[in-house]
Structure 1
Amino acid sequence: MENTKENSVTFQNLSQKNMSFDEVFQHITNFMKKEPSGKFRLMFGTDSQVFNQYTKFITGIVIQQERRGVWACIRKVIVPRKMLNLHERISYETTLTEEVVSLFTTEHKEQLINIVLPYIYNGANFTIEGHIDIGSGKRNKTRVFVKEMVARLESIGVEPKIKPESFVASSYANRFTK
């Protein structure tokens, strides 16, 4: 079997370890098919934590049905050094988010859209968001990177969200970086 990026990336959540991308995608489609007339948000975001010998990056994938629950998983990446440069770290977080988003090919996205398509006139909805762990507040050191990171996510067709709306990065992924 050829070693494509798609089958070398593994994901996990509290109930399953070492999930392939195909398994993750199957969980997402199953979640959406339970109630295809729902309002769905497919969200991606990465957070990091610097430790003594390494930097840990966690990318979260969350499929949420408005007011009906979520299914989520993470991908962990360890860089074997302290990544102290803030721009480098934020940029790498965005790169890891882009990497996971890129696993969702046009065909994958079409499959997900086709689940809700018959119910659009009944209020069904599907959006894809990229959550960036940065903010534009005056006291936020990351505010100088907002334009750059937002533009990167927009360029791959993902709706960018920054703090306080970027909860997949700043809350969900953050929990697993500790």
Structure 2
Amino acid sequence: MNFFHPRHGRRSLAQMISDIQAYIHEEPTANYKIVIGTDSQTREKETIFVTAIIVQRIGKGAIFYYTKKRHKAMRELRYRIYRETEYSLEFVELLKEKGFFGFGVNIPMEIHLDVGQQGETRKLIQEVVGWVTAVGYTAKIKPESFAASAVADRFTK
């Protein structure tokens, strides 16, 4: 799986984790938050899913990476939103498997969902927020879900 950083370009999972750990160790006393979100865009023949990971140094900036997955076009909104949620949760599990959270820093984490009170996705809020919170994570929806609705969205185009 390849990740992309706006300045450093393509990064492996190991490189991304190392970059993030170095970023945190630059200012170990700062407050941090990890945010993960996925968005999708369906075109004529395919749906592109982009998952973003953002590490915020609260009040002092952030770094982010993203990865893309391509699928045959998915037209059904419910299925796409479920797949977005699944990809975000799978990414957290992948990070756990690689020891990402074991480097001695207790950092809060949020899963950002591309659903909100406006539009068709409002019908799915309870389901996907319930899923994320049931597995132990904090879920955010629009307008607070910037990882999905702004960062990941930008790279689906």
Letter matched to residue 159 of structure 1: T
Structure with more helix by fraction: 1
The residue number in structure 1 matching 2:115 is 134
The 3-state SS of whatever aligns with 1:160 is strand
Question: Which deviates the most, 53-62 or 156-165?
Answer: 156-165
CA deviation map 1:134-167 (0-9, x unaligned): 01x2x42111111111122223332111011100
The residue number in structure 1 matching 2:139 is 160
Return the offset for 1:26: 0.9
The percent of aligned pairs where both chains have the same amino acid is 31
Equivalent positions of 1:15-164 (< 5 A) are 15-80=7-72, 82-105=73-96, 107-111=99-103, 114-115=104-105, 126-135=107-116, 137=117, 139-164=118-143
CA RMSD after TM alignment: 1.5
Return the offset for 1:61: 0.5
Structure with more strand by fraction: 2
Q: Do the aligned residues in 2 keep the contact of 1:42 with 1:127 (CA within 8 Å)?
A: yes
TM-score by length of 1: 0.82
Radius of gyration: which is bigger? 1
Provide the rounded CA distance (Å) in 1 between the counterparts of 2:102 and 2:6: 28
Q: Do the aligned residues in 2 keep the contact of 1:58 with 1:174 (CA within 8 Å)?
A: yes
